[in-house]
Structure formats: C-alpha cells, structure tokens
Amino acid sequence: MKTKNIKGQYSVLEYVFLSLFIIAIIIGLMFFLTIWSSIQFGAESMKTEWDRALWLGQYVQNIPLLVKETGMFDDGKLTALASMGPSKACEYLESLAGPDFFMELRILDGNETQINCTWQNYPDCNYWEFCKNTGKKKKKFYTLPVNVYRRIGFKLQETTTGRTDIGILKAGVY
C-alpha cells in the first residue's frame, strides 16, 4: 500500500515536473526571441553608421560648394574653406553633412611630402583636412579615389589654365 502510494506520488510529481519543464522551454524561447531582436537591432544600427559613412563619402563629392562636378573637387573652393580656420570650416561642413563628420583629401602628385593647403601656399600644396579631431573615439570611414581640379594648374606664358589631378578622399563619422 505504501509502495503504491509512493509510486502514485512519483507519478504526480513527474507529471508536474514535465509540465513545468515545457513551460520553462517556452519562456526560454520567448526570451531568446526578444534578445535576438535586440541583437539584430544593435547590428542594424551599427550597419546604419557604416551606411552613413559611405553615403557621406559619396555626398561630399557632389556638394556644389566644394566640387566642379561629381567626383571632382575644386582646389580653390577647398582652400577657401580651409582658410576660414578649422572651427569655422568644420561648422560649415557639419551644417551640410551632420555632426561627427570628418574628411581628408590628399592629391597623389608623386610628392612624398604632405603639404597642408593654406592661403599662403596655394596652389603649391596637396592636402586638406576638415573636422579632424584626434581626441574623439573610433572612426568609421571609407577611402575613395577622386579627382581634384586645380584652377592654377598650368602656368603658361599667356595664361593660367586648369589641370585635373587624382587623389584619395577619406570621409566618415566619429
């Protein structure tokens, strides 16, 4: 009688445990789905930042304020912007491209030395940088080949004429 009683109790307990176990699996599945959605959302937002960096690299090549035509910067416009001072120039660019934006442009003229373009040394220079803030955290950027139109390209006897050089644009976000 006692054995039958214990057996009966075990049966009931087994049944209860089984039900609890299945409920636990279902709740676990619900948690998993929620956490997975959050991970996906996190990955999505990081992908969005990389997308923004790529779009900025393309967008800045098409801003009439800086370019002669798509993919071809105007060195006079870049130098004019740079000559306003780093903070004013960055303020202008951020009003167009959004916050935490930066860009660098280097003409690949075969010159090993990088020469920052200023009012004084224009056009004998090959580099511009805007919103470069070394104090900030990690950057997401892309590099793209571009052209740079040099207004004072060829200095001939009777006239000065333009020249198109090749360069590398580095643009992105902090």
Partner 1 sequence: MNAEKNHEKAQASIIMIVLVLIIFAGLALFLLSFAKTMSQEDYMSTYVNSLLLSIMRTDTGYLDSDCRLVSDAISCSFFSTGLVCRDSEITCDSLAYRKVEEYINRTIKKGFRYFFSVTPEGFVARSSSGEPIKFEIGDSKLKSEKTEKWSANQRIMKATATGQYSLKVQLVIAVKK
Partner 2 sequence: MITLFQLFKMIFGIIVAAFILYALLNYSGSYSVFQESGIKAKILNNFRETAQDVYYSGNAITYTDFSAYDFSGTRYEPLRNPPLIVSEAGEMDIWFPLFFVMGENVYIHRGSLDYKFWKFYFVEALPDMNIIFNPVDNTPDAWEIMQGIVELMPDTAGTERKIYFGLCDGDFYETNACGGKPCSRNDFLNAQSTFSATRFDKCTASLPQNSRLVVISSGCTQGYANSSICIIPSGSGVGNFYISGSPEKFIYRDSLDLLSAVLGGTEQDAFGKTQGEKFYEYKNRIFGERLKIASDITAKRSLLVTGRLNPDTESTDYYCRSVYISLEGITNQIKSLVSNRNYYTNTADQTNLKNLLEQAKLNYQELVNRGCEYQ
Within residues 33-92, the interface with partner 2 by CB under 8 A covers 33-34, 37, 41, 44, 48, 51, 55, 58-59, 62, 64-66, 68, 70, 74, 76-77, 79-81, 83-84, 92
HSE (side-chain half, CA atoms, 13 Å) at 19: 5
d(C-alpha 98, C-alpha 174), whole Å: 11
User: Sheet containing 101-107: which strands, arranged edge to edge?
Assistant: 67-69, 72-74, 140-155, 160-173, 101-107, 127-130
Of positions 59, 63, 72, 83, contacts partner 1 by CB under 8 A: 72
Of positions 152, 165, 170, 174, contacts partner 2 by CB under 8 A: 152
Is residue 19 involved in binding partner 2 (CB under 8 A)? yes
Of positions 110, 112, 134, 158, contacts partner 1 by CB under 8 A: 110
d(C-alpha 85, C-alpha 76), whole Å: 15
DSSP single-letter state for residue 116: B
Is residue 163 involved in binding partner 2 (CB under 8 A)? no
Q: Which is nearer to partner 1, 90 or 100 (CB)?
A: 100
d(C-alpha 62, C-alpha 5), whole Å: 85
Q: Which amino acid is at 148?
A: V
Q: Which residues bind partner 1 (CB under 8 A)?
A: 14, 18, 21-22, 25, 28-29, 32, 36, 39-40, 43, 47, 50-51, 54, 57-58, 71-72, 108, 110, 142-147, 153-154, 161, 163-168
